[in-house]
Amino acid sequence: MKARVWIIVTLCTLAALGVVAAEHKLTLVNLHWDRVSVEVREGSEASCTDRDLVGQRDLTKGQAWSNLPCGRPCWRKKLPGYDWGPWISTTCFSKSETYAIN
């Protein structure tokens, strides 16, 4: 009985500290271009265009966009003078994932 109580107290403490069931986060990094626009959407819809807009940002070379929600995210890029590229989507399995914008 004491072991069960200890496990429950430990799990509740870890959950309160954010260790258990932590929210997944995505980081996108621009390693290639002087400047690139990035649009991010999140949701469960099959089409990325139908998902909720998280935001749109311009990133300079070496700059990262961190702490994005990472359940089923989609992102696409737009280089100056070009149209938006195709959507890239993923499913996050770890607490923190980082992708280079290619």
Q: What is the pLDDT along the chain (102 residues), one digit of tens a residue?
A: 554 434 444 444 444 444 444 578 999 999 999 999 999 999 888 899 999 999 999 999 999 999 998 888 999 999 999 999 999 998 888 788 899 988
Domains and CATH numbers, the chain: 23-100 (2.60.40.1120)
How far is the C-alpha of 101 from the C-alpha of 88, rounded, in Å? 10
39 Cβ contact list (under 8 Å, min separation 6)? 53, 55, 56, 75, 76, 78, 84
Q: What is the pLDDT of residue 22?
A: 54
